[in-house]
Each structure stands twice: as C-alpha cells, then as structure tokens.
C-alpha cells in the first residue's frame, strides 16, 4: 500500500466530492466503490485528516475536505 501523495488519489476524492457520494463517484470513474473508497482513505491517511463523512445516502465534506476540494478545483 502506498503512503505517498498521489494526484490520482486526489482525482478520486475530487470526483467523489463533486458527485456527492462514493457510489456516484465510483460510477463516474467506472470503478468499484470499494476501490474508490480505499483510495480516498489512503489520501486521508497521507494528509492526516478525514475528508468526507457520511451523511444519509451521500456525504458531506469536513473542513479539511473543503480545503482539499478547493485546491483540487484549481488543479483539475
């Protein structure tokens, strides 16, 4: 398992955040939900902060998640 920052992991998080949920993000990425969820967790581990948190059938971003999304918007 990689412990380095990866722009691919950031891209997965960005899509999940834009889509509002892991399942919708995974569908857009044409990947398994488990794979996308694992990549987002790896990004969280590298950054040292939780990014999304469950909210009903979707998710909401934490304060750190909002900051990371803002940076990802500028990158992508």
The full 3-state SS of 17-44, as one line of letters, equals HHHCCHHHHHHHHCCCHHHHHHHHHHHH
> Does any domain span residue 42?
yes
Predicted confidence (pLDDT) at residue 41 exceeds the cutoff of 80 = yes
Q: How many domains does the chain have?
A: 1
1 in any annotated domain: no
- Calculate Rg over the CA atoms of the chain: 11
* Residue 39, domain member (yes or no): yes
Band (8; pLDDT cuts 50, 70, 90): very high
Q: What integer is the mean pLDDT of 39-50?
A: 96
Give 34's pLDDT tier (boundaries 50, 70, 90).
very high
Decide if 2 is inside a domain. Answer: no
- What are 56's two structure tokens? 């009903």
Q: What count of residues does the chain have?
A: 76
| Structural domain for 32, as ranges | 7-75
**Domain CATH for 68:** 1.10.10.10
């Amino acid at each position: 398992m990689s412990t380095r920052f990866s722009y691919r992991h950031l891209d997965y998080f960005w899509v999940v955040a834009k889509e509002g949920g892991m399942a919708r993000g995974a569908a857009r990425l044409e990947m398994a939900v488990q794979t996308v969820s694992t990549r987002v967790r790896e990004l969280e581990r590298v950054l040292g902060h939780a990014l999304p948190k469950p909210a009903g059938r979707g998710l909401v971003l934490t304060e750190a998640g909002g900051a990371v999304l803002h940076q990802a918007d500028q990158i992508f």
